[in-house]
């Protein structure tokens, strides 16, 4: 899917002329935020130090959580990473708060330059439904753009695209999450280069999202369930293990 940059001329154009512009697909950097800029350069250094990584994870804070060592057991997640992904020299390119737009910016600015992973795992979209309030009609094609951009830069990798994870942030977010995942499942059905996996079933108990599988409700003060805890991340890793063995070994 071809993406367009927002220009001054477009800003002044009639609404009808902008009808096909999707800001969720526009490359939006966050280098004005010092902590984000530090993380950006940190990941570039990791990229350069590990050119033979067989797995690359691309995503937001949920992906970043693979490195979490909270000290409470339930939030000690890095051991799961060390067991399932470290043996492949995997790289974790997760950024707190990133949307599809910021991940596209990172890809455009060299996030995976010089790498040749056998498997790239993408988990993005949850933040689109937060402050930006980009719905499924914007988010699904934006995720498709992330995948296309990744494939362009890593033509020999297999892409394992994960559905947006379920959370407890309100009915609208849940509706958009399920609609986005349904659209992606349909779009990538039969693809030879992209495997789409919806992990929603891992987090559902008696028809509802199980808050006990998330870190956030146990924070002080508690926050809405969004980031899986050790058990939740273990379920993800075990579910993805057959794909890792097939494509990264």
pLDDT tens digits, 17-68: 445 899 999 999 999 999 999 999 999 999 999 999 999 999 999 999 999 9
Identify the pLDDT of residue 4: 36
Split at pLDDT 50, 70, 90, the class of 207 is very high
Instruction: Compute the average pLDDT of residues 209-228.
Output: 98
Lowest mean pLDDT among 6-20, 127-141, 155-169, 195-209: 6-20
SS3 29: coil
**How far is residue 77's CA from residue 231's CA, in Å, rounded to a whole number?**
9
Identify the pLDDT of residue 125: 98
- For residue 13, pLDDT beyond 60: no
Identify the pLDDT of residue 20: 80
DSSP letter for each residue of 32-57: TSHHHHHHHHHHHHHHHH-TT-SEEE
**How far is residue 226's CA from residue 216's CA, in Å, rounded to a whole number?**
7
Instruction: Compute the average pLDDT of residues 73-89.
Output: 98
Identify the pLDDT of residue 19: 57
pLDDT, one tens digit per residue, over 113-155 is 999 999 999 999 999 999 999 999 999 999 999 999 999 999 9
Question: Chain-wide mean pLDDT for the chain?
Answer: 93
Q: Which residue has the higher pLDDT, 6 or 124?
A: 124
The strand ranges marked E within the chain are: 55-59, 91-94, 119-123, 158-162, 194-197, 204-205, 208-209
Identify the pLDDT of residue 11: 38
- For residue 236, pLDDT beyond 60: yes
User: Model-level pTM greater than 0.85?
Assistant: yes
Identify the pLDDT of residue 179: 98
Task: Find tokens 């990172």 and name the residue.
Answer: 106
- The rounded radius of gyration (Å) of the Cα atoms in the chain is 18
Report the DSSP pairing between strands 119-123 and 158-162: parallel
Assigned CATH for 8-248: 3.40.50.1110
Are the C-beta atoms of 53 and 115 separated by less than 8 Å? yes
pLDDT, one tens digit per residue, over 98-107 is 999 999 999 9
């Amino acid at each position: 899917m071809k993406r367009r940059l927002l220009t001054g001329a477009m800003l002044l154009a009639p609404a009808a002329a902008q009808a096909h512009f999707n800001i969720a697909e526009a490359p939006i950097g966050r280098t004005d935020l010092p902590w984000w800029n530090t993380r950006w350069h940190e990941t570039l250094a990791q990229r350069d130090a590990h050119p033979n990584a067989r797995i690359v994870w691309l995503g937001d804070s949920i992906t970043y959580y693979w490195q979490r060592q909270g000290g409470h057991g339930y939030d000690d997640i890095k051991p799961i990473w060390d067991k399932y992904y470290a043996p492949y020299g995997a790289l974790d390119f997760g950024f707190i708060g990133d949307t599809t737009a910021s991940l596209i910016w990172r890809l455009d600015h060299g996030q995976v330059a010089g790498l040749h992973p056998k498997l790239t795992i993408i988990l993005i979209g949850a933040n689109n439904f937060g402050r930006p309030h980009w719905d499924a009609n914007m988010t699904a094609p934006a995720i498709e753009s992330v995948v296309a951009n990744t494939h362009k830069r890593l033509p020999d990798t297999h892409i394992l695209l994960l559905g947006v994870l379920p959370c407890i942030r309100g009915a609208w977010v849940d509706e958009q999450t399920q609609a986005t995942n349904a659209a992606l499942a349909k779009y990538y059905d039969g693809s030879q280069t992209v495997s789409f996996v919806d992990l929603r079933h891992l987090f559902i108990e008696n028809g509802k999202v199980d808050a006990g599988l998330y870190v956030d409700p146990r924070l002080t003060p508690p926050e809405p369930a969004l980031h899986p805890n050790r058990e939740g991340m273990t379920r993800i890793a075990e579910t993805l293990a057959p794909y890792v063995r097939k494509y990264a070994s």
